Structure 1
Amino acid sequence: MSGSLNITSATADPALLDLPWQLPLDAWPNENIASLPKGISRHLVRFAHLSGRVVAIKETTSEMAKREYDMLRTLAHLEIPCVEPVAVITNRTDASEEPLNSVLVTRHLKFSLPYRALYSHALRPDTATRLVDALAVLLVRLHMIGFFWGDVSLSNTLFRRDAGAFAAYLVDAETGQLYSGGLSNGQRENDLEIARVNIAGELMDLEAGGRVADELDPIRVSNGIVAAYRLLWKELTGSESFSASERWRITQRVQRLNDLGFDIEELAIKTDSTGSSVRIQPKVVDAGHHQRRLLRLTGLDAEENQARRLLNDLDSYRAAYGSQGADEEMVAHEWLVRVFEPVVRAIPEELRGKLERAQVFHQLLDHRWYMAQNQSRDIPLAEAVTSYVQDVLRHRRDEATVIDPLTGAITLPIRTQLEDDTTSADPDDADDWTLKV
């Protein structure tokens, strides 16, 4: 290795030294490269193997790499869904001592896909709408902490399956800015307009390539992020007035926020001078209500909709076995040992990389429900697991799909009824260290 290489990282991983930093990123040997689908980027991005995991490496300037690294760490500390920064590599030179671009290294988000990888076939309007809805939720969360993205797009987002929907993660933060005093309405509207225009362009690009359904209207779908964003923003931050005799509406408002996946940490309640009317307004809200409850009760870390689905099954278990009056933590432990863990253990080892455990359990519940509907009888869990493994899971590819090395085409998992991107039919539904070499 030539020159004085600088590695700034939050974790001391010696394997970083083993990567060929003396070569331009586009000249890295195949043994270092991981073939995974990637989105469109203004910079060269490649995936590489590191310590048994996969990382994304982006060539950029030293200033931009350091800035984005710091921003991603800040967003992660604020519990915003985003990729995990691993390191910044600067002072790269080749064998002739010619300077090479600096790079930002981030950890690949397991079980995630760029939006283009989700649609090797025709993109249907309802699937596109759910993607845009997921991005709207992410944008609201970012704006609530005072983050101006500046380049909102599907390309700068990764999506993970979350029960019957998607969860969105921020990938590219190089244009972002965090404002301690929050964002003005103009800044929020600017980000929203950027999102609308970018999404329309991305969908039109797919349309030109024949990769969307005929009935999909890119303009209508892109306008959907504006409607979804404003509805969610109003629900989270808007004030509400009602008469003092309708105090039940306070509980109703809290429940609506919980159903959206948000917890209220503070609620301002004011009455007028006569005491005849009440005005409420959420002051601080946080996402992940069901995630935190599931994690607290079972130790399982899942996406929000997955957590809601697992909690529904936990509550059904509690009701079915007459445990309503029992301690919640004890029932949760019993459900974990008797229901969830046996299902996970029943998945053959060679199939466990197909989907996350929570997503497997969600799909199993769907499969069991379909079986019960078709056969007009209750289906034992063991029977449903066997059928799901043999008829569904075994016939799909790993969620971490690969790119065809000859054509560059993205190969997608085999679709089945349960994997189809349609609404579920279930009615219940450390300080950094710097190394110089």
Structure 2
Amino acid sequence: MNALLDDLTWRGFVADSTDRDALAAHLDAGMVTSYVGFDPTARSLHIGHLMQLILARRLQQAGHRPLLLIGGSTGLIGDPKMTGERVMNTKETVSAWVASLAEQTKKYVSFEGENGSRIVNNLDWTGPLSALDFLRDIGKHFSVNRMLARDVVARRLEDGISYTEFSYVLLQSFDYAELHRLYGCTLQTGAQDQWGNITAGADYIRRTTGDIVHGLVTPLLTKADGTKFGKTEGGTVWLDPELTSPYAFHQFWLNAEDAKVMDYLKIFSFRSHDELAELAEQTEQAPYKRLAQRALADDVTDLVHGVEARKAADEAARALFGRGELAALDDATISAVMGEVKATEVSTRDGELPTVVDALAASGVVASKSAARRTIQEGGAYVNNAKVTDPDARLSADQLLAGRYAVLRRGKKTVGGVILTR
């Protein structure tokens, strides 16, 4: 068997593939050009896409050439989803998102050397295509019966599905055919929900050229209870630091479940088999140290945001619990910390700042103002890591972080925050 395919299987990248033996032989035969597509349905990719980018990177590290397709045309249509029709974004919005995603994907692969990657946009070949040419040259090769049997289409038939989304599979199949023609692409990768689109494209190429091409899909990642991975109370975990700060990103991975953390490490980390085995053993012996979670959070944040951003996120976490200097954090990190502790907005009255008692109660770290006073008297109240001893103390302007934030803490572990507004 092919060593790369064996490793990808061990790491959890392979949910299904076209003929495995044929794919293994194909990967052994020389440099393979593959592609993975990303539709611009938002201005940023999220961690669900990260698995695909890492797979592309692993293929390249093994000597193959990955193409990264940004769906300028398919993004205008929308891949059918189980829950209903997608919102049709304007052409201007989609175009801006194409540029954003193209820039975002660049850091994950190399564009140098014989197997250097390339970013492609399917609008380049779909845009000039007339409706008549599309129906005659592409649509002729697709059976409506087979299209109706696709799982997502079958589920949507009761409530209805537009012809636009129904025809999406034709567009993606045409993408594979064009990349096969232009670049000799013979492998398409994607998430498991793309299996029908990928196999349809392989079949279309076989019907029109006689060539055999391949497909490989990754599993849809889930939490231990089977629910979708990659969501938090605040929503999707984005790769764009303006949408999900490096601090919140790092915290997300730190909170990975014990039952799943090694699975995530195999996929999202580039550590070797031996390193992962040693880490698994250390974690099993001392689970309270959360060594696997720390390794996961550090590795993925380093990859997506860089080492310096990860160090800043780590320092922010230390500062939040009194083991570092909050005032040393930059404004963006402080804002992210406030979001993480679900800071409460507190209005100032006539320019007067609230008392520490009021701030403690508003932040939720104590149940009431009387409890706040008691906490102060017992020596367990902190404002920005400075102990407060006066129950009548009031927040001062020089205490505030970035001129408007205050971190409130009770004891060592109960943390909240307030955001001062006028």
Q: TM-score range by the shorter chain?
A: under 0.3
The structure with the greater share of residues assigned to strand is 1
The structure with the greater share of residues assigned to helix is 2
Larger radius of gyration: 2
Which one has more relative contact order, counting CA pairs under 8 Å at least 6 apart?
Answer: 1
